[in-house]
Structure 1
Amino acid sequence: MFIERDVNSHKKVGTIEVIAGSMFSGKTEELIRRLKRAKFARQSVEIFKPTVDVRYSENEVVSHDENSIRSTPVENSANILLLSGNVDVVGIDEAQFFDKGLIEVVAKLANMGTRVIIAGLDMDFKGVPFGPIPGLMAIADYVTKVHAICVRCGSIAQFSHRFSEQEQVVLLGEKEAYEPLCRSCYIKATK
């Protein structure tokens, strides 16, 4: 017996994808790759980043390999909910710099049927879970943990070691301020 279904009665379900790891691990590169695939599939896409991240560009998400995609800088997580409208996919880069309200914003978007893809550092330079990333990983449908290569021994690196003596958690920088290290080299470097 054939059962006829109303195609419109099936509500679209969103998802939460988190791409997390250390600096130089390819988080932003993977975010850009996923967002470009969604655009190629003719899905509507909005990309957000924190206004504090102006290292490469004010209005683009840019990877260390200089791949880029247009984005909207926002002051706080509530603005993402206001500006995302009725889109299929929302991308968020450098999520560790957002407030903890990002967890609720992302959950609301996914519950409304939006695919949300987030990239961010899972730990700060002290090896401590960073900002809203741990909470986002907990509610995510999919978590991708990416790794860099330790610049001292060539092993898999999961730590972002800071050269600077400055203690503030947020310190924008690149290769002049940070290096990816494995656990063993990180322990040696921080003693």
Structure 2
Amino acid sequence: MSFTERFRQDAYDKFSGDLYEFCCKDADDDCKTVIVAVVDGDYLRRSFGDVHDIVPIADSVTKLIARCEVCGQKGFFTVRKTCDTRTQLIGRADVYTPVCLKHYINNQIVIRASN
């Protein structure tokens, strides 16, 4: 079930616009505590959306770390298990898996070799 199917369209629209403005308005104008949980990078290790724009206005930032599905080390990166190359592809463990740097690099070598 997609986000827009689970929630109303206006809830989705709130987060698909300018994240910085949304956070500033709710925190500064409405005196709300804003908690943002997001993916900060895509499967190619590129910045994802405008999430890094809100770091300077944050009281604190906590980056959660997964475990590499291959070796159990800290998994800072994500491997996409499909051939789909769209930047935004919503999925779970059937589409993505957390990996350490070594296994991320190994996966990229395999992908390049198969192309």
- Is TM-score (shorter-chain normalized) higher than 0.5? yes
Greater relative contact order (Cα < 8 A, sep 6+): 1
CA distance in 2, matches of 1:148, 1:73: 31
Structure with more of its chain in strand, by fraction: 1
Runs of 4 or more consecutive aligned structure 1 residues displaced over 4 Å after TM superposition: none
The reply on whether 1:142 has 2:79 as its aligned counterpart is: no
Match in the other structure for 2:19: 102
CA distance in 2, matches of 1:140, 1:72: 27
What amino acid maps onto 2:34 in structure 1? V
The reply on whether 1:120 has 2:38 as its aligned counterpart is: yes
Q: Is the 8 A contact 1:110 1:116 kept in 2?
A: yes
Structure 1 unpaired stretches of 5+: 1-51, 60-70, 78-94
What per-residue deviation string (whole Å, max 9, x for no partner) do you get for residues 96-145 of structure 1?
A: xx23x111111121112110001000111111111121112232111000
Match in the other structure for 2:113: none
Among 59, 72, 89, the alignment partner of 1:154 is: 72
What per-residue deviation string (whole Å, max 9, x for no partner) do you get for residues 50-101 of structure 1?
A: xx526xx704xxxxxxxxxxx9862323xxxxxxxxxxxxxxxxx6xx23x1
CA distance in 2, matches of 1:162, 1:74: 27
For 1:159-170, list aligned pairs within 5 A. 159-170=77-88
- Aligned residue pairs total 108
CA distance in 1, matches of 2:9, 2:47: 26
Q: Is the 8 A contact 1:58 1:73 kept in 2?
A: no
In our comparison, the structure showing a higher alpha carbon Rg is: 1
RMSD of the TM alignment (CA)? 2.3
Structure 2 unpaired stretches of 5+: 110-115
CA distance in 2, matches of 1:73, 1:154: 39
Structure with more of its chain in helix, by fraction: 2
Q: Is the 8 A contact 2:19 2:51 kept in 1?
A: no
CA distance in 2, matches of 1:74, 1:141: 24
What amino acid maps onto 1:105 in structure 2? F
- 1:138–1:190 CA distance, 2 compared to 1 (3 A): farther
Q: Equivalent residue of 2:34, what SS?
A: strand
